[in-house]
């Protein structure tokens, strides 16, 4: 329990460091920061909200938090879907004032930025200089930050080719949550004489310790990121499968990866049910009723040479022709542009899959996005659908569960299944939703699914599913103890509440 007199003392000390404009314990501020985009959770109010401007200020805040033993949670854009960047009591550290671009090195293709910068701000500047990070941040759009992307192992536009956000990371500057508020730099930057131009070599890959950590291992203040010259030629094509068959989806993903390789920028598969839902939502429906038989493959290719792009498009046509037909979104919505007229721009990149995941926005959404090998797709689709049937009475009334609203090819034979279920956004449905959410996540963990934004809901479900060996749990605790001896940063994630707490008590046994 946090003692309020200590919070008051800490407030005064932090105010002395960052100034009274950037600290608050007012109710309206606590309310404003009480949620992410995850309405299954109740509101959670921090005791203090701080908005530091520099790494040194973050370090001072960490020292003060340690002095008074007050927990802390870091926050970027707050676009988390799983309770990651809110804090019940304690100090919520909003990093969005740390939004500077420190260096864009166009010759050596890397940049150094503060972690609170948004994808919108960074990519707009890079585009002016003909550069890109390749993967362009999450589907949540402009306001998410680089720090959030690194901490959530975010996948997004460009991930089929460029991987997830940690894949473009060459190192970070981190404030460790220890009593000293120690500042370290990783990657090439661990060599104090070197520029941050590469990740591996100086020491073990300590960058990895902070990737996908959902803010449990340190507060990332700067990031060094890989850059690429913008690729001049891009084209987008759509194909609808003749049958609703996940064996075919997996087979075609494999063939695309094998034949088109680096030419593939993004491959998305939109299940037929989502296409049907979207067709139903169109206001000015087409005169001809669309024939919607199978999932839609949305394939984006890129090349530095227009002739090569044409070869890719021809190869794709050949590869798809037996099992699919060319598709245009105009078939369901006459206002949609034709694929031949498609042009890449940042606005498109930010909204590239919003329409597929926001089919019912004013609801509680319990996302279950996870990665599986492409060969496992048919099996996991089946298991997931069977789960929804078996437990239909346990879902909140009128809830819609979807195995996938979109499936997204990542590097090698790895794909993200973006899915979940929803419920009415009312208090009475929150507990029921939360229970079913954890149950479904446990199923996915047990069939070998790998989640990435873990926040609270997912990190806890992994523990409940008994995924970690006792040796791994011990290692994890030992590593955390080194950086966070007082156990103050992001408590509750992974069902870890203190070092003495036995997290295996949370394992749910006797569940299929
Ligand atoms: C409509 C919608 C679409 C989405 N699409 C995608 C998608 O395509 N792919 C995807 O991966 N995610 C997606 N998300 C989830 C989320 O938006 C992303 O994961 C995003 O990268 C989070 O960034 P953020 O800055 O908002 O982070 P926050 O929500 O602020 O934080 C996320 C986590 O990172 C930690 N954190 C944040 N900054 C730091 C820091 N500097 N140091 C240490 N820890 C930190 C927080 O404690 C928290 O656990 C989507 C969300 C929505 C609402």
Judged against a pLDDT cut of 90, whether residue 511 lies above it is answered with no
pLDDT in tens, 180-222: 999 999 999 999 999 999 999 999 999 999 999 999 999 999 9
Mean local confidence (pLDDT), 117-141: 95
Kindly indicate the confidence band of residue 107, based on its pLDDT and cuts at 50, 70 and 90: very high
Question: What is the predicted pLDDT for the residue at 257?
Answer: 97
Is the Cβ–Cβ distance between 57 and 18 less than 8 Å? yes
Judged against a pLDDT cut of 80, whether residue 128 lies above it is answered with yes
> Whose CA is closest to 299, among 318, 286, 274, 273?
318
CA dist., res. 132 & res. 157, Å (int): 12
Question: What is the predicted pLDDT for the residue at 358?
Answer: 53
- The DSSP symbol for 375 reads G
How are the residues of the chain apportioned to helix, strand and coil, as percentages rounded to the nearest 5?
40, 20, 40
Is any ligand 1 atom within 6 A of the Cβ of residue 209? Answer: no
**Cα–Cα distance list, 420 to 402, 408, 442, 446, 460 (Å):** 6, 15, 13, 17, 17
Question: What is the predicted pLDDT for the residue at 359?
Answer: 44
Judged against a pLDDT cut of 80, whether residue 362 lies above it is answered with no
CA dist., res. 274 & res. 285, Å (int): 16
Q: Minimum mean pLDDT among 231-235, 307-311, 355-359: which range? A: 355-359
Residue whose structure tokens are 């930057």: 189
Kindly indicate the confidence band of residue 365, based on its pLDDT and cuts at 50, 70 and 90: confident
Question: What is the predicted pLDDT for the residue at 123?
Answer: 96
Quote the ligand 1 centre to 414 CA distance (angstroms).
Answer: 21
Kindly indicate the confidence band of residue 364, based on its pLDDT and cuts at 50, 70 and 90: confident
Quote the ligand 1 centre to 441 CA distance (angstroms).
Answer: 19
Judged against a pLDDT cut of 60, whether residue 375 lies above it is answered with yes
Which pTM was predicted? Answer: 0.96
Quote the ligand 1 centre to 85 CA distance (angstroms).
Answer: 8
pLDDT in tens, 70-104: 999 999 999 999 999 999 999 999 999 999 999 99
Tell me the average pLDDT of the chain: 94
Is any ligand 1 atom within 6 A of the Cβ of residue 166? Answer: no
Structure tokens at 299: 């394939």
Structure tokens at 476: 């994890």
pLDDT in tens, 413-465: 999 999 998 888 788 888 899 999 999 999 999 999 999 999 999 999 999 99
Question: What is the predicted pLDDT for the residue at 357?
Answer: 60
Quote the ligand 1 centre to 328 CA distance (angstroms).
Answer: 32
DSSP per-residue letters across 277-326: HHHHH-SS--SSPP---SPEEEEEEEESSHHHHHHHHHHHHHHHTTTEEE
CA dist., res. 132 & res. 136, Å (int): 8
Is any ligand 1 atom within 6 A of the Cβ of residue 419? Answer: no
Is any ligand 1 atom within 6 A of the Cβ of residue 148? Answer: yes
Nearest ligand 1 atom, CA 453:
19
Question: What is the predicted pLDDT for the residue at 168?
Answer: 98
Contacts of 390 (CB under 8 A, 6+ apart): none
CA dist., res. 19 & res. 53, Å (int): 10
Quote the ligand 1 centre to 510 CA distance (angstroms).
Answer: 33
Is the Cβ–Cβ distance between 300 and 235 less than 8 Å? yes
Dihedral, CA atoms, 2, 147, 209, 414, nearest 10 degrees? 120
Q: Minimum mean pLDDT among 4-8, 143-147, 306-310: which range? A: 4-8
Is the Cβ–Cβ distance between 75 and 461 less than 8 Å? no
Is any ligand 1 atom within 6 A of the Cβ of residue 175? Answer: no
């Amino acid at each position: 329990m946090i003692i309020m007199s200590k919070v008051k003392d800490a407030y005064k000390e932090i105010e002395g460091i960052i100034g009274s404009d950037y600290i608050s314990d007012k109710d309206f501020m606590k309310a404003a920061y009480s949620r992410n985009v995850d309405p299954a959770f109740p509101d959670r109010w921090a005791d203090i909200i701080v908005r530091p401007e520099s790494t040194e200020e973050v370090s001072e805040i960490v020292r003060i938090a340690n002095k008074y033993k007050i927990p802390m949670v870091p926050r970027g854009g707050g676009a988390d879907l799983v309770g990651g960047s809110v804090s019940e009591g304690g100090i919520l550290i909003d990093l969005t004032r740390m939004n500077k671009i420190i260096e864009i090195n166009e010759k050596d293709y890397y940049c150094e930025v503060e972690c609170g910068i948004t994808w919108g701000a960074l990519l707009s500047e890079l585009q002016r200089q003909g550069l890109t990070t390749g993967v362009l941040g999450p589907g949540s759009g402009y306001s998410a930050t680089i720090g959030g992307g690194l901490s959530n192992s975010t996948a997004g536009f460009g991930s089929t080719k460029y991987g997830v956000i940690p894949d473009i990371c060459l190192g970070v500057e981190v404030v460790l949550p220890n009593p000293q508020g120690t500042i370290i730099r990783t990657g090439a930057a661990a060599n104090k004489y070197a520029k941050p131009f590469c990740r591996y070599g100086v020491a073990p890959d300590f960058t990895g310790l902070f990737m996908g950590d959902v803010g449990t291992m340190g507060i990332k203040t700067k990031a060094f990121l890989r850059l690429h010259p913008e690729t001049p030629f891009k084209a987008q094509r759509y194909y609808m499968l003749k049958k609703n068959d996940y064996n075919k989806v997996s087979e075609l993903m494999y063939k695309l990866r094998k034949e088109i390789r680096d030419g593939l920028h993004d491959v998305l598969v939109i299940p037929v049910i989502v296409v049907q839902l979207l067709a139903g939502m169109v206001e000015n429906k087409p005169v001809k009723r669309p024939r919607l038989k199978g999932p839609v493959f949305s394939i984006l290719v890129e090349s530095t040479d227009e002739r090569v792009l044409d070869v890719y498009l021809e190869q794709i046509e050949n590869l798809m022709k037996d099992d699919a037909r060319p598709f245009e979104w105009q078939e369901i919505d006459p206002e949609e542009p034709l694929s031949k007229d498609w042009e890449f721009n940042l606005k498109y990149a930010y909204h590239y899959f919003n329409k597929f995941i926001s089919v019912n926005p004013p609801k509680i959404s319990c996302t279950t996005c996870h990665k599986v090998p492409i060969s496992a797709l048919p099996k996991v689709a089946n298991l997931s659908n069977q789960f929804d049937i078996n437990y239909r009475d346990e879902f909140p009334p009128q809830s819609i569960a979807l195995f996938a609203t979109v499936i997204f090819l990542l590097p090698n034979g790895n794909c993200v299944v973006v899915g979940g279920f929803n419920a009415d956004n009312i208090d009475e449905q929150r507990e029921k939703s939360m229970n079913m959410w954890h149950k479904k996540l446990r199923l996915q963990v047990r069939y070998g699914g790998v989640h990435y934004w873990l926040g609270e809901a997912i990190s806890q479900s992994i523990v409940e599913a008994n995924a970690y060996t006792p040796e791994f749990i011990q290692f994890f605790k030992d590593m955390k103890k080194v950086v966070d001896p007082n156990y103050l940063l992001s408590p509750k994630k992974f069902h870890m509440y203190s070092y003495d707490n036995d997290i295996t008590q949370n394992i749910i046994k006797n569940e299929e």
